[in-house]
Amino acid sequence: MASYSTNEFRSGLKVLLDGDPCIMLENEFVKPGKGQAFNRVRLRNLMTNRVWDRTFKSGESLEAADVIDQDMEYLYTDGEFWHFMLTDGSFEQYPADAKAVGDTVKWLKEQDVYTVTLYNGAPLTVTPPNFVELEVVDTDPGMKGDTAQGGSKPATLSTGAVVNVPLFITIGEVLKVDTRSGDYVSRVKGN
């Protein structure tokens, strides 16, 4: 397996640290003019999501982690696994467990495309696109005249996600939602 030396460190690099795959978030090079150089690195452990700060002496190296991001279509769940398929025409399928799917479960819609991160060939995490379009399956009735401003109310989407929406939203409408914040963005026209 390849390894990366401190002068190759950069954010986004995937490395093994204490046996776990990690992604480099920040890399700061420090060096007193005549002295020893160090790299102060912030990493997120991809197994636990914990953020680590570590320091390396210039010239030290870290093993590369076999971690790749792949676009995959969500197919179905059998209750134990969520099944995804590569969109590259290979039809290759990957079962992701609940730990890999995590909070993304509330944004999973069949036939939509997600980023599946594979570690040693198995799904490690599933990341939704920044925006998804989902149908409202339950919400209080809309209030007349409330088209521009005013309060909000909870709405349950087809995937089970609950988001706060403007009062005029009704059951059956399709909404655009920001998955990073879980915020309502807009109604989707033309349905």
Partner 1 sequence: MTEDSVWRPSASPAALKSRAQQLAFVRGFFAEREVMEVETPVLAQHGVTDVNLDGVAADVSAAERKGGWLQTSPEYHMKRLLAAGSGSIYQISKVFRNGERGRRHNPEFSMLEWYRVGCDDAALMVEVADLVCDWLGCARPAQVSYRDAMLTWAEVDPFEFSDQDLRQRCEQWLEPAQIAELDRDGCLDLLMSFAVEPNLGQHTPEFVVGYPASQAALARVSVVDGHPVAHRFELYINGLELCNGYWELIDASEQRRRFEADNQLRQQSGKPGMALDEAFLSAVEAGLPDCAGVALGLDRLLMLKLGARDIAEVLAFPFERA
Interface positions with partner 1 (CB under 8 A): 6-7, 27-38, 40, 55-58, 60
Nearer to partner 1, 17 or 113 (CB): 17
CB of 12 to partner 1, least distance (A): 13
- The Cα-based distances of 120 to 51, 62, 124 in angstroms read 21, 17, 9
By three-state DSSP, how is residue 168 classified? coil
Q: Which residue has the tokens 């995490």?
A: 125
Task: Dig out the tokens for 23 from the structure.
Answer: 């992604």
The strand pairing partners of 90, in sequence order, are: none
CB of 26 to partner 1, least distance (A): 10
Q: What is the distance in angstroms between the CA of the first residue and the CA of the last residue of the chain?
A: 50
CB of 33 to partner 1, least distance (A): 5
Nearer to partner 1, 28 or 178 (CB): 28
Nearer to partner 1, 4 or 168 (CB): 4
Nearer to partner 1, 63 or 135 (CB): 63
CB of 175 to partner 1, least distance (A): 31
Specify the long-range contacts of residues 125-131, CB closer than 8 Å, at least 24 apart.
Answer: 125/46, 125/100, 126/82, 126/84, 126/96, 126/100, 126/101, 126/102, 127/69, 128/104, 128/179, 129/179, 130/178, 130/179, 130/180, 131/176, 131/177, 131/178, 131/179, 131/185
CB of 28 to partner 1, least distance (A): 6
Nearer to partner 1, 7 or 93 (CB): 7
